[in-house]
Structure 1
């Protein structure tokens, strides 16, 4: 299979370069990226909520009608709130992420402690501790939500871009 893709190594490098450039551009204004992402999420929720309400109206006889319609209303209202107030939305999303980081980190620490006899438990413990620290930092300073989400997206784009470029060069070597 690699031989098939080895002939297309330039596409992998091209994707990597584009992704890397987009990540670097996102780093220039992480607040703008965060707000754009929150607005985009709001639009998706509005469309989804509207679709769910329409669906519920077409299946009024269904036992799940009320819950389906209510879920659609919640999505719709949540989406409108995010579009109208992306700054507050980003702060709320950051607090939610902070809680998720803390909870996930504590769970990984507990799993690591229960499996000390297994290799790799230390890295799992470190990963959990790091998540808890990031979560606490975000809870202590939720205003960081204005740049944190955009920064994480930029960070991901830069590293995945670098990974695509590396894969492209590895495939180039196979093509020889």
Structure 2
């Protein structure tokens, strides 16, 4: 391992601590985190929609004008709806995630069954089953959309932070 890289171990631990703390804070109020993320997504969609509409109008002589303008309008309207109704938006996004989890789970199970002769197919099967379970749970409890997105963000931040800390500690041990 590059000695110069290993000497930066404190930066990795620092990043890990900050990320881990932010994840723990996010875990304290997952509903607030969910609403903040939905509003932020709405703002991004609004800005993208405006840019897309301006672009479409600026190059209106090209064949894709109508599709480009319509895409911009869809982004803009979707963004406005998310900003004005982040609670409903979180429920809609969670329903979409539930569909993705179920579909992804089914696909992983099909791949695993088609590749039984390949080692490691069991874990792929397990991940497919877990994806379906999570998807079904989200469908059964639609109000979970109020906390699910925030919980997943907090969960990710906690584990990413722990990962950075572990990497930093391993780098520290590599210094001669």
The answer to whether TM tops 0.5 is: yes
Q: Matched residue of 2:53: which SS?
A: helix
Q: CA deviation at 1:5?
A: 1.5
1:41 partnered with 2:41: yes
Mapping for residues 44-63 of structure 1, pairs under 5 Å: 44-63=44-63
Q: Whole-Å Cα distance in 2 between the matches of residues 122 and 4 of structure 1?
A: 40
- CA displacement 1:61-115 (0-9 Å, x = unmatched): 0100000000000000000000000000000000000000000000000011111
Match for residue 148 of structure 2? Answer: 148
Contact 1:2 1:171 (C-alpha < 8 Å) held by counterparts: no
Q: Whole-Å Cα distance in 2 between the matches of residues 165 and 129 of structure 1?
A: 31
Q: Matched residue of 1:33: which SS?
A: helix
Match for residue 17 of structure 2? Answer: 17
Q: Whole-Å Cα distance in 2 between the matches of residues 143 and 2 of structure 1?
A: 49
Q: Matched residue of 2:66: which SS?
A: helix
Match for residue 103 of structure 1? Answer: 103
Q: Matched residue of 2:163: which SS?
A: helix
Q: What TM-score, normalized by structure 1, do the two folds share?
A: 0.98
In structure 1, runs of 5+ residues without a counterpart are none
Mapping for residues 120-135 of structure 1, pairs under 5 Å: 120-135=120-135
Contact 1:47 1:76 (C-alpha < 8 Å) held by counterparts: yes
Of 3-12 and 120-129, the range deviating more from structure 2? 3-12
1:67 partnered with 2:67: yes
Q: CA deviation at 1:175?
A: 1.8
Q: CA deviation at 1:2?
A: 3.4
Q: CA deviation at 1:163?
A: 0.3
> CA RMSD, aligned part only?
0.7
Q: Matched residue of 1:63: which SS?
A: coil
Q: CA deviation at 1:142?
A: 1.2
Equivalent pairs counted in the alignment come to 176
In structure 2, runs of 5+ residues without a counterpart are none
Q: Whole-Å Cα distance in 2 between the matches of residues 72 and 137 of structure 1?
A: 34
Q: Which runs of 4+ in 1 moved over 6 A?
A: none
